[in-house]
Structure 1
Amino acid sequence: MEEQTRKLLTRFLDHQCSHAEAQQVNQLLEDPEMVAQLHQLMEEQDARAAQQTALPDHVAAEKMESWQQQINERIADSAVAVQLMRRLPWLRYAAIFTGFVLLAGITWLLRSPEAANNRQLAQQTDILPGGHKATLTLADGSVISLEDATSGTLARQDGIQIEKTRDGNILYRMAGDKVLQGTTTNTITTPKGGQYQVCLPDGTRAWLNAASSLSYPLHFDAKERRVKMTGEVYFEVAKLYSSLRGGRDRRPERVPFFVETDKQEIQVLGTHFNVNAYPDETAVKTTLVEGSVRVHARNGQSALLKPGQQAVLDGAIRVRDADIEQQLAWKNGDFIFRGETLESVLRQVSRWYDIEVEYPHQLGNMRFNGMVSRLQPLSTIIEMIQSTKKATATLKGRRLIVTD
């Protein structure tokens, strides 16, 4: 096995893969030989960590029967189950239960004939998860499908070269020694079932969740950098520097970065933060990972956030401690639900799988805890809902209907 491939598979087993890396692993595992190599890696990890491992059933169904038997025999208590849930993405992501995850639920997912029937039925009418999909709208109104575009130069505008990298991201570079001045604006938009990453002209990185958009100039003003967004975007704002002593030294420039949404404006200098501003959500949530940001609501209120805090705007601004792992789960390729209502879960599912959802009002407040990989097909979500025994989920075309 090549060293690079070995490292990638090891990162996958340890749940350290980025979304793009996880997609690469999925492609590798279409090769039966690679499946065997992954199994060998898991056996090595089992010897070191004294923990059982297994392959996901969608990877190598013909090999799963014996491995599932080993898993069932070795899940003897809840402590082992918790270790497995933490270590194995496909096992821990396979279970969401109302209130908390039960050992019986894990066993049900592995053994239950009903679960097997549900999986078989779901495979016939399954819907795949979203992926790298977005469009780039240039200043002249032309639209580029980033999913279909090949890697390399996509366009040149005002002295800036727009490139699609090999890993599918968008990067802005100077096309020559001089950058022309102008007011050119670009907009990147993700559909339902899509997400994308872009490196802005100032070096700031932005990750767009499904059904989101980000508009930005090719040339930021010398006194401020300003972008507009809808949906959900995670930012890693670049610090700007100016040269001193003939270019030998550099000093940071305090050029503020502003993010505008429909209901608020965020001012930052150099920081990492997430903004959830979907129009169908009850509140706008700004979560600070590092650095410092100030949130200004359109009603005149403002709040200064410290790392680990979240501003919730639902008429008034409230500052509270944030669950960073949960808030950034989408960027890391996961769904994480902690006390999440069914209504909220289905909104997220609808965006990522590009489906319509339907459920009775009385089920909307049902609470869920657990984790699900965003790489899993919709049938996994259906199984999770069914496993609660409190609701039934049925897929009709691209409409998911939940009933009690």
Structure 2
Amino acid sequence: MESKQLFIKYLDNQCTPEEEREVNKLLAQPEMLSLLHTLMEERDSNATGELTDEDYTALGKTEHWQRKVNQRIAQSVLDDFEAQSQQRSSIRLWIRYAAVFVGILLLGTGALLITNNEEQNQNSLADATQGTTIDAGQATLTLADGSVVALANLKQGTIALENGVQIEKAEDGSIVYSIKDKSASYLANNTISTPRGAQHQITLPDGSKAWLNAQSSLTYPIRFKAEERRVKMTGEVYFEIAKLQKQDKSGRVPFFVETANQEIQVLGTEFNVNAYTDEPAIRTTLIEGSVRIATNNGVDNVLLKPGQQALLTEGFIVKTCAVQQEIAWKNGDFVFQGESLDNILRQLSRWYDIEIQCPSHLGNLRFNGMVARSKPLSTVVEIIQSTNKVNIKLEGRRLIVTD
């Protein structure tokens, strides 16, 4: 079978497992990667009929493929949650409209709490039951000259002008780069970092967008090279990659994301990477488009489709996942579907900046639920406690779980 026909089958979700492995091998060749880019662009163009090249930048409109994928994923997640809760109308609205709506948390088999949530995420998270306040830090930007800028207290406007690149804080608090001098250096790097209890959004010099979860970092050049775009990350980051054409029109400029143990090759897409060092595996979840992931030693690699997740430990394991659960943090929520207490506590530790003490046999307990991340720690603690599965108390900055 010709490579083009094989790629078309892949884009139509008609490949056999053997054919998918062949696609993965082909994409190691630059000319084959370019061919897949071309076919994806043809699909986008035929599907919409109205979009121009400008629509495919990070400032453009939502594409036809993305809408279809999101609808499919949303329906899948909706079905999962409807099987777990009688609050179907509330959950349906949350899934379909992604409103900033609630503190809803369903844990164990019977506890359900629904409250209004109009407050914004604060730099201070109060624990009402303990009478203490947990202070979250703020994101910082390390410039090419080594100076560090605290972002939360900065006013809207220009932060710095480095090597012909203007760095600004936008009205929504995100960081935006714009190239003012095309002779700007490719070697100058910036790093944005978030501590526990904080997250931040950035628009990269190529127009791509990234959201950093708590205790994460992203290092990138203030101007990308013409032949490729490459960034390094730790922690958890959600990416929306701008689709840029090469100068010779031979295909898209590839985008690479490096973590400590893997490299992700991006084919114009949206995806989430969870690479915290205290997690049992690196999780890469694909929302839209396609990504190819390889271990840093080159021994193992996989190709993901929308709705799939790659788990990296000794090697890759690919599975279909509940996408909304993986990206809920970006929308300001915790979402748990059959999550172990260990995993839940790690998330709470990073967000509320606390230490955890939990026996291993209790860490294996499973919970389902949703809660807004703007809620105080006491809300989560009280509802987990209400399931009567465990006892939890907060002593200073330590959360202690017992039978």
Compared CA separation, residues 217 and 370, structure 1 to 2 (3 A)? same
The corresponding residue for 2:106 is 96
Shift of 1:398: 1.4
Candidates 164, 177, 180, aligned match of 1:172: 177
User: Is residue 93–residue 370 contact of structure 1 (8 Å, CA) maintained in 2?
Assistant: no
* Shift of residue 312, structure 1, vs aligned partner: 0.7
Give the structure 1 partner of residue 309 of structure 2: 310
Asked if the contact 1:162–1:170 (Cα under 8 Å) also holds between the matched residues in 2, the reply is yes
Q: What one-letter code is carried by the residue in structure 2 that aligns with 1:295?
A: I
Structure 1 residue 94 displacement after superposition:
4.1
Paired residue secondary structure (2:306): coil
Query: Kindly tell me: are residues 121 and 387 of structure 1, through their superposed partners in 2, closer, same or farther at Cα, counting changes over 3 Å?
Result: same
Instruction: Determine the C-alpha separation between the residues in 2 that align with 1:379 and 1:181.
Output: 49
Q: How far apart in 1 are the matches of 2:163 and 2:212?
A: 25
1:302/1:317 contact within 8 Å kept: yes
Kept after mapping to 2: 8 A contact 1:126/1:377: no
Matched, 1:356 2:355: yes
- Counterparts of residues 50-199 of structure 1 (less than 5 Å): 81-84=87-90, 93-98=103-108, 100=109, 102=110, 105-106=111-112, 122=129, 124-125=131-132, 127=134, 133-176=138-181, 178-199=182-203
Distance in 2 of aligned mates of 1:107 and 1:371:
10
User: CA separation in 2, counterparts of 1:205 and 1:252?
Assistant: 24
For residues 256-271 of structure 1, what are the structure 2 equivalents within 5 Å?
A: 256-271=254-269
2:210 to 206, 213, 217: 206
Deviation at 1:260, TM superposition (A): 0.3
Percent identical pairs in the alignment equals 54
Cα deviation code 1:3-57 (max 9, x no counterpart)? xxxxxxxxxxxxxxxxxxxxxxxxxxxxxxxxxxxxxxxxxxxxxxxxxxxxxxx
- 1:289 corresponds, among 287, 290, 303, to 287
- What's 1:226 paired with? 230
Larger radius of gyration: 1
* Amino acid aligned to 2:353: D
Q: Distance in 1 between matches of 2:187 and 2:388?
A: 56
Q: Distance in 1 between matches of 2:332 and 2:290?
A: 25
Q: Counterparts of 1:91 and 1:271 in 2: how far apart (Å)? A: 28
Q: Distance in 2 between matches of 1:298 and 1:127?
A: 38
Cα distance in structure 2, aligned partners of 1:295 and 1:312: 10
RMSD: 2.7
Describe the shift of the 1:85–1:353 C-alpha distance in structure 2 as closer, same or farther (beyond 3 A). Answer: same
Distance 1:120 1:326, change over 3 A: closer
Opposite residue 192 of structure 2, the aligned amino acid is I
C-alpha change, 1:120 and 1:205, in structure 2 (3 Å) is: closer
Deviations 1:332-387 (A, max 9, x none): 11111011011000000000111111111221101110101111110111112211
Q: Could you tell me which amino acid in structure 1 is paired with residue 352 of structure 2?
A: Y
Deviation at 1:175, TM superposition (A): 2.6
Measured at CA, do residues 168 and 120 of structure 1 come closer, stay the same or move farther in structure 2, by a change above 3 Å?
A: closer
The code of the aligned residue for 2:375 comes to Q
- Does structure 1 conserve the Cα–Cα contact (< 8 Å) formed by 2:226 and 2:246? no
Please name the residue that 1:370 is paired with.
369
Whether the 8 Å contact between 1:338 and 1:369 is mirrored in structure 2 is yes
SS in 1 for 2:286: strand
SS in 2 for 1:167: coil
CA, structure 1 residues 85+302, in 2 after alignment: closer, same or farther (shift >3 Å)?
closer
- Write the distance in 2 (CA, Å) between the matches of 1:340 and 1:328: 15
Q: Is the 8 A contact 1:84 1:91 kept in 2?
A: no
Alignment of 1:381-400 (within 5 A): 381-400=380-399
Unaligned runs of 5+ in 2: 1-83, 116-125
TM-score, normalising length: structure 1: 0.70
Counterpart-to-counterpart distance in 1, 2:290 and 2:197 = 31
Residue 124 of structure 1: CA displacement?
A: 2.4
Change (3 A) 1:356 1:252: farther
TM-score by length of 2: 0.70
**Paired residues of 1:289 and 1:324 also in contact (CA < 8 A):** yes
For 1:72-104, what per-residue CA distance to the aligned partner results, in whole angstroms no more than 9, with x for missing partners?
Answer: xxxxxx986443465588996343322x4x3xx
| Cα distance in structure 1, aligned partners of 2:90 and 2:316 | 40
Can you give the 5+ residue segments of structure 1 that lack an aligned partner in the other structure? 1-77, 110-118, 245-250
Measure, in 1, the Cα distance between the counterparts of 2:309 and 2:202.
Answer: 24
Match of 1:50 in 2: none
**What is the distance in 1 between the residues matched to 2:275 and 2:85?**
39
CA contact (8 A) 1:235 1:272 kept: yes
**Displacement, 1:150?**
1.3
For the 8 Å contact 1:240–1:252, the answer to whether it is kept is no
CA contact (8 A) 1:84 1:92 kept: no
Q: Secondary structure at the match of 2:375?
A: coil
1:263-283: per-residue Cα shift (whole Å, max 9, x none)?
A: 100001311011000000000
1:107, CA displacement in angstroms?
A: 7.8
Counterpart Cα distance in 2 of 1:336 and 1:312:
19
What displacement does 1:252 show? 7.8
Q: How far does residue 187 in structure 1 lie from its aligned partner after superposition?
A: 0.4
